[in-house]
Amino acid sequence: MTSGAHVLLESLKKEGVTVIFGYPGGAILPVYDVLYDDPDIRHILVRHEQGAAHAADGYARVSGRLGVCMATSGPGATNLVTGIATAYMDSSPVISIAGQVPLTLLGTDAFQEADVFSLMLPITKSNFLIRRVEDIPRVVKMAFEIASSGRQGPVHIDLPKNVQTSEAEFAYSNNNILNFDDSEPDPDSIRKAANMLVNAERPLIFAGGGTIISGAHDEVLELTELLAAPVVTTLMGKGVIPEVHPLCLGMVGMHGSKVANQAIQECDVLLGVGVRFDDRATGNVQQFAQNAKIIHVDIDPSELGKNVRVDLSIVADAKKALKKIINCLISFSKRYRKTNWEERLKELRSGCPENNFNAGTPIKPPYVIKTIMKVLEENDIVATEVGQCQMWAALYFKVRKPRTFITSGGLGTMGFGFPAAIGAKVACPNATVVDIAGDGSFLMNCNQLPTAVENNIPVIVVVFDNRYLGMVRQWQELFMKRRYSAVYLGESTDFVKLAEAFGAKGWCVERPSEMEPALKEAIKYGKTAVLDVKIDREMNVFPMVPPGSAIYEIIDEETVLT
């Protein structure tokens, strides 16, 4: 006989859990008491529960394993909500566990009681309120199966305090409980897709985050080279093929590259794989890919045809579907024939040269991004906060390997990057991990600095210091006649002193020539570091598609000035 708290930890270990990001409290104390004597699970004490969820999310995104976070009842559990919603929108497999008041007190408005089960319903794949200690092993097993199967995502477990202290025999089954359907894609649909692609004059592959989650990077690369078809990606799909590859046109959408957006409009067959066709990627859906027949491959049938018209739908894991399409193409006697598509793409590229931002002052953010890319190795990891810093990173950081660029795409959660970087570093301790941060976004979770310092998790934060909520200010400049309402952060924050106050080290970078030496010194330092980079305060992210416009209706700085 053993306690429910002990059963929970043993069940987690059976699922391969070695680290939990969490914050204790009264309703989860029995679990923490057992954790005190457990040498097999590392607990990382965060400084706010939202950080625990983001750290577990970052851990999952770079490792491909499930991340686990834990909190107490009431405000502890509700503080997890933003992080769990972030993971849900980006299909990241996270298990969140929260203590709950004893079953006898449920519904009485007891101290630190909240209906977390209901709160989590719309932002998880599934969630559980455990009422018997005997159910813990089965629920944990189910939670891990649900989170990692099909379209991945978070699962929440609510564990009342009396269930943690009750006793039962521990028995854990290694057999799958749910047996999710893992069927092969429809052969007729695969043949149709292959025929459409091989007969296309201007084929284009549109890869989303699902291709990275499924591990389909090799297949995307093979298919694009087999067809000589270029690849465009969503923000979440960055890195599915090396972005330095000649057939990679970059990211599409509101802040996508001009070439990628124009290619969408000119292609005649568009293969969307692991993408949601969300509004930030498509712009005005009525004018999206008007000249193309669209093939949509997604593991989640509810996404097919949800946002854009689709000519052929394939419900399948991205890796499986692409393998089948490749095999089908190879079996055809008819090979890809050279068309004028390659020449047209060269023409588009020559008409959209990448800006070469000089090393002048004030520092230009793209210069900082390119310096980071120059210093980091291909296996190193970049996390981003949300806003202008995120879009500059998306445009100018050329990702070379999958799972090395993590960002909050669907929810756009400010404060995501730094705790996610902490989780990424725990998962990949040999990689250098850099958080590309806006000052406003970093201030939301800068309280995680002691988490990194005290747990010896060396993460480097590069703060784009412009003293504004930059993306909101940009919209106010472009669409609200420069009426800068509630976006100025003031002059009081000293990020170097902030870092030092928490036991980290800080550098102030005021000139471009200081950026590379400071970053190299921070990497050599080998501990948590913050680089306060003084950037051009009112520089905007371009190109940009105004909200509600077609993705070819692009504005840039020259357009704005004229």
Quote the CA–CA distance of 9 and 533 in Å, as a whole number.
43
Which distant-in-sequence residues (6+ apart) come within 8 Å of 28 by Cβ? Answer: 70, 71, 72, 73, 76, 97, 98, 99, 159, 161, 164
Told to judge if 265 belongs to the known catalytic residues of this protein, a careful annotator would answer no
351 has a pLDDT exceeding 90: no
Region 223-234: mean pLDDT is 96
Closest by alpha carbon to 168, among 131, 132, 129?
Answer: 132
**Contact status, residue 298 vs residue 307, Cβ threshold 8 Å:** no
C-alpha to C-alpha distance for 169 and 4, rounded to whole angstroms = 9
pLDDT tens-digit profile of 487-497? 999 999 999 99
Give the β-pairing of 167-168 and 2-3. antiparallel
Separation between Cα atoms, residue 308 and residue 161, nearest integer Å: 47
Mean pLDDT of 270-283: 97
Task: Indicate the pLDDT class of residue 352, thresholds 50, 70 and 90.
Answer: confident
558 pLDDT band, cuts 50/70/90, is low
Residue 189 has pLDDT above 90, yes or no: yes
Smallest Cα–Cα separation from 436: which of 525, 508, 533, 517? 533
Q: In what order do the strands lie in the sheet with 293-298?
A: 248-251, 231-233, 203-207, 269-273, 293-298, 312-315
471 included as an active-site residue: yes
Phi, psi of 48 (to 5 degrees): -165, 140
Compute the distance between CA of residue 231 and CA of residue 211 in angstroms, rounded to an integer: 12
Element (H, E) at 270: strand 269-273
Q: CB within 8 A of 119, min separation 6: which ones? A: 77, 78, 81
Spatial distance between the Cα atoms of 322 and 23, rounded to a whole number of angstroms: 42
**Looking at 111, 180, 332, 479, which residue is catalytic?**
111
Amino acid 440: pLDDT: 98
Q: Is 111 a catalytic residue?
A: yes
Tokens of 199: 């007969």
- Give me the catalytic one of 70, 236, 373, 471: 471
Share of the chain above pLDDT 70, in %: 98
Lowest mean pLDDT among 201-205, 344-348, 405-409: 344-348
Q: Using the predicted structure, report yes or no on whether residue 362 has a pLDDT greater than 90.
A: yes
How many Å apart are CA 130 and CA 159, to the nearest integer? 6
Q: What average pLDDT does range 217-231 have in this prediction? A: 96
Q: Are 192 and 224 in contact (CB under 8 A)?
A: no
Of 70, 89, 100, 161, the active-site residue reads: 161
Active-site hit among 10, 15, 21, 49: 49
Nearest of 21, 127, 16 to residue 65 by alpha carbon: 16
Predicted local confidence at residue 528, as pLDDT: 98
For residues 360, 365, 369, 374, the Cα torsion angle rounded to the nearest 10 degrees is: 0
Q: What is the pLDDT of residue 411?
A: 98
Q: What does the CA dihedral 154, 160, 161, 166 come to, rounded to 10 degrees?
A: -110
Contact 70, 27 (CB under 8 A): no
Give 52's pLDDT tier (boundaries 50, 70, 90). very high
Domains and CATH numbers, the chain: 2-168 (3.40.50.970), 187-351 (3.40.50.1220), 365-561 (3.40.50.970)
- Residue 60 has a CB neighbour count (10 Å cut-off) of 30
Q: What pLDDT is stored for residue 184 in this prediction? A: 93
Tell me, what's the pLDDT at 360? 81
417 dihedral zone (left: phi>0; alpha: psi -120 to 50; beta): alpha
Q: What are phi and psi of 507, to 5 degrees?
A: -125, 140
Residue 356 has pLDDT above 70, yes or no: no
Is the pLDDT at 208 greater than 70? The verdict is yes
**511-533 mean pLDDT:** 98
pTM of the model: 0.97
Across the chain, mean pLDDT equals 96
Mean pLDDT, rounded, for 178-190: 91
Q: Is the pLDDT of residue 273 over 80?
A: yes
Q: Give yes or no for residue 560 having a pLDDT over 90.
A: no
State the pLDDT at residue 332.
83
Identify the bridge partners of residue 297 per DSSP, sorted by sequence position: 273, 314
Catalytic residue among 13, 14, 112, 477: 112
Report residue 244: phi and psi, to 5°.
-90, -5
177-197: average pLDDT = 93
Tens of pLDDT along 370-417? 999 999 999 999 999 999 999 999 999 999 999 999 999 999 999 999
Statement: residue 562 has pLDDT above 60: no
> Who contacts 246 (Cβ-Cβ below 8 Å, separation ≥6)?
none
State both tokens at 46: 């965060």
Instruction: For residue 427, give both structure tokens.
Output: 């998962």
Q: Band the pLDDT of 336: cuts 50, 70, 90.
A: low
Q: Where does residue 548 fall: left (phi above 0), alpha (psi -120 to 50 degrees), or beta otherwise?
A: left
The per-residue pLDDT for range 238-248, each reduced to its tens digit, is: 999 999 999 99
Query: How confident is the model over 228-241, as a mean pLDDT?
Result: 97
Which tokens in the block code for residue 183? Answer: 């069927």
Lowest mean pLDDT among 101-115, 197-211, 336-350, 515-529: 336-350
182 confidence band (pLDDT: 50, 70, 90) = confident
Residue 339 has pLDDT above 90, yes or no: no
Confidence class of residue 180 from pLDDT cuts 50, 70 and 90?
confident
pLDDT of the residue at 359: 74
What pLDDT sits at residue 357? 73
Predicted confidence at residue 335, as pLDDT, reads 57
- Reply yes or no on whether 161 is catalytic: yes
